[in-house]
Structure formats: structure tokens, C-alpha cells
């Protein structure tokens, strides 16, 4: 396998002023990509925006001989997403891939959750990813081999005090699957990463995780150990679409939605369901959900 080179390619990385996004931007630039380093630069709730974090990462990339430009707009507004795409086009003349990584974070019990909080999380994670995809789409279609990498989370599977965050990430999962179908006829592959890394988010998540988890992640699971997976998903060599790859501490695996064989028969009653619930849920012969792409046999 030859090196996965990005020379001549332009990749947008949102939320790249810190944490995971910074590691993605630095690896992509070291592989020759022109990188748009977007970051709102605020706290984990998005307050107190600042162009500083994105500018620092651009400085780091430039000092290492790479090519990058800064953008400090929010992905959560249409104007912001359009401006990020415009930065890529005006600076580098093309867009080949978008890494939707920007994210806000906080813990909240369901009882204390306000609708404003729910909306704020949908706005950044789901709407931000959707708006970035919409703004970049015509240019990816033009490039003919576009890549979109979204970001989901273990919180999609259910963890304490993350109804707002986990369900926003669930929306990003649905976006990934359905955009993969929309992109299939244009050579656009859309996947997601479910990362795990010791970033500032982990300081907040610590309260919802088993004791010592956040400390362990900070010490042994740096963002740089996730970046190779995102680089693969953003590269023309990426052969999969509609998939979620878990990536943490050097481990990489596939996360799937499955349907069990279940039961089938006439005269179904609530009592049948009650009596056979274990059989209905048994995953022994479960099948992975397939994308409904008619003419893409061979691609998942």
C-alpha cells in the first residue's frame, strides 16, 4: 500500500483549534493537504468565541512547513458554514473533503435539561454537520471523489446525563447513512468516526464515566491516535461509505446497526411478543443494515 498523500487536496476540519480536530488538521497538513482550520474558539458550551485557537494551529502547521488557513466562524449557522467553504475556495481553489468535528459539550440530567440546551446541541452537532455538507456539496460533486467525515460518539449507545448530546450524535449517525446514499452517484463517500481521546471534553465527561476513565484517557489515549482513521476516511483511497469507525488509543473497529432474525407468523398478539421477546432480540443470526444504493454492489 502506497502512502496516503493529500498533495493538491483541500480539507476543511471544523473545530480544529483544539483536541481531536487539531490532531486531524496537523496530520492532514503533514501529508500535503491544504487545510482550513475552523474553530469558534469558545468554551465547551460555545461561549466566549475567539479566533485564537484556530490561529495557533495554523501557526503550528505553517512552522512545520504545511499549508493552512484559519476560519473562526460557527458551523451552526448557514452564513458560518458558507464562510468556511468560501475560505477554502478563495484560498485554495477547491474542496476535496470536509471533516465535521466541531462540537459543544456539557453534562445535564434529563430532569434539568432545557429545550434551549437540546437545541444548542442539535445546532452544533447535527445542523452544523448538515450545513457544512450542504455548503460543500456542489464542490465535492465537482471534484468527483468527495469525502465527508462526521463525528458521532459512544453516547449514541446510551450513557448517563447525555440525552441532549447523545441524541444529537444519533442525528449525525442518520445524517451519515442518508448522505452516503445521496453521495453514491457522485463519488462522494460519507462516513463517521466515533472517537475516544483525552481532550478537555473528558474533564467534563469524567463525572459520567467509571472512576479513573478520564485520567486514563488523558494519559494513554491522545487525539493523535485517532487522527490516522480520520485521514483514511478523508482520503480518495477510502473504500467504504455509510460506516462508523470507532477509534481510540490505537484501536479501530466498526460500529453497526443490526436487525435480528426475529420471529414471523400469523396471529401475532401482545402475548406472543411477551413470550418470545428473547428470541426477537437474539442477535445470533442478526444482519447488518445495508444502505439502499441500487447500483453500488460491492460498496457498503
Q: Report how far residue 259's alpha carbon sits from residue 253's, in angstroms, rounded to the nearest whole number.
A: 19
Smallest separation, CB 286 to ligand NAD (Å): 25
By CB under 6 A, the residues from 201 to 220 that bind ligand NAD are 201-202
By CB under 6 A, the residues from 79 to 118 that bind ligand NAD are 101-104
By CB under 6 A, the residues from 27 to 86 that bind ligand NAD are 38-42, 44, 46, 53, 74-76
Choose which of 8, 64, 200, 287 interacts with ligand NAD (CB under 6 A).
200
Q: Is 173 annotated in the active site? A: no
Q: Which of 165, 173, 216, 232 is catalytic?
A: 165
Of 8, 62, 11, 2, nearest in space to 32 by CA: 8
| Binding string, residues 143-182; x marks residues near ligand NAD by CB under 6 A | --------x-x-----------------------------
Q: Report how far residue 220's alpha carbon sits from residue 145's, in angstroms, rounded to the nearest whole number.
A: 35
Q: Cβ-closest residue to ligand NAD?
A: 19
Q: Report how far residue 278's alpha carbon sits from residue 280's, in angstroms, rounded to the nearest whole number.
A: 5
Three-state DSSP class for residue 212: coil
Smallest separation, CB 173 to ligand NAD (Å): 12
| 139 in Cβ contact with 95 (< 8 Å) | yes
3-22 in b/e form (b: 16+ CB < 10 A) is eeebeebbbbbbbbbbbbbb
Angle separating helix axes 52-63 and 19-30, nearest 10 degrees: 30
| 256 in Cβ contact with 288 (< 8 Å) | yes
Q: Report how far residue 128's alpha carbon sits from residue 131's, in angstroms, rounded to the nearest whole number.
A: 5
Residue 14 lies near ligand NAD (rule: CB under 6 A)? yes
The residue among 33 and 76 lying less far from ligand NAD, judged by its C-beta, is 76
The residue among 12 and 201 lying less far from ligand NAD, judged by its C-beta, is 201
Q: Applying CB under 6 A, which residues contact ligand NAD?
A: 14-15, 17-21, 38-42, 44, 46, 53, 74-76, 101-104, 124, 128, 151, 153, 195-197, 199-202
Q: Which residues are catalytic?
A: 165
Amino acid at each position: 500500500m502506497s502512502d496516503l498523500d493529500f498533495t493538491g487536496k483541500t480539507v476543511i476540519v471544523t473545530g480544529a483549534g483544539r483536541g481531536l480536530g487539531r490532531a486531524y488538521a496537523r496530520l492532514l497538513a503533514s501529508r500535503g493537504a491544504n487545510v482550513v482550520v475552523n474553530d469558534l474558539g469558545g468554551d465547551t458550551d460555545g461561549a466566549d468565541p475567539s479566533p485564537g485557537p484556530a490561529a495557533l494551529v495554523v501557526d503550528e502547521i505553517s512552522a512545520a512547513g504545511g499549508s493552512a488557513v484559519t476560519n473562526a466562524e460557527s458551523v451552526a449557522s448557514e452564513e458560518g458554514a458558507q464562510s468556511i467553504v468560501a475560505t477554502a475556495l478563495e484560498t485554495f481553489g477547491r474542496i476535496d473533503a470536509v471533516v465535521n468535528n466541531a462540537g459543544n459539550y456539557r453534562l445535564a440530567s434529563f430532569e434539568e435539561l432545557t429545550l434551549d440546551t437540546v437545541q444548542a446541541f442539535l445546532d452544533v452537532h447535527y445542523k452544523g454537520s448538515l450545513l457544512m455538507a450542504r455548503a460543500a456539496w456542489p464542490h465535492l460533486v465537482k471534484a468527483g471523489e468527495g469525502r465527508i467525515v462526521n463525528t458521532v460518539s459512544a453516547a449514541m449507545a446510551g450513557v448517563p446525563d447525555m440525552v441532549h448530546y447523545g441524541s444529537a450524535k444519533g442525528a449525525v449517525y442518520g445524517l451519515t447513512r442518508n448522505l452516503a446514499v445521496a453521495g453514491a452517484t457522485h463519488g462522494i463517500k460519507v462516513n463517521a468516526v466515533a472517537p475516544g481521546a483525552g481532550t478537555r471534553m473528558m474533564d467534563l465527561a469524567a463525572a459520567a464515566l467509571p472512576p479513573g476513565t478520564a485520567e486514563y484517557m488523558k494519559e494513554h489515549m491522545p487525539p493523535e491516535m485517532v487522527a490516522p482513521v480520520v485521514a483514511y476516511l478523508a482520503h480518495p483511497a477510502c473504500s467504504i461509505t455509510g460506516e462508523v469507525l470507532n477509534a481510540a488509543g490505537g484501536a479501530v473497529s466498526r460500529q453497526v446497526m443490526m436487525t435480528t432474525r426475529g420471529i414471523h407468523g400469523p396471529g401475532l398478539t401482545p402475548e406472543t411478543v411477551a413470550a418470545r421477546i428473547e428470541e426477537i432480540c437474539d442477535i445470533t443470526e442478526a444482519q447488518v443494515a445495508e444502505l439502499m444504493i441500487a447500483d453500488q454492489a460491492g460498496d457498503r
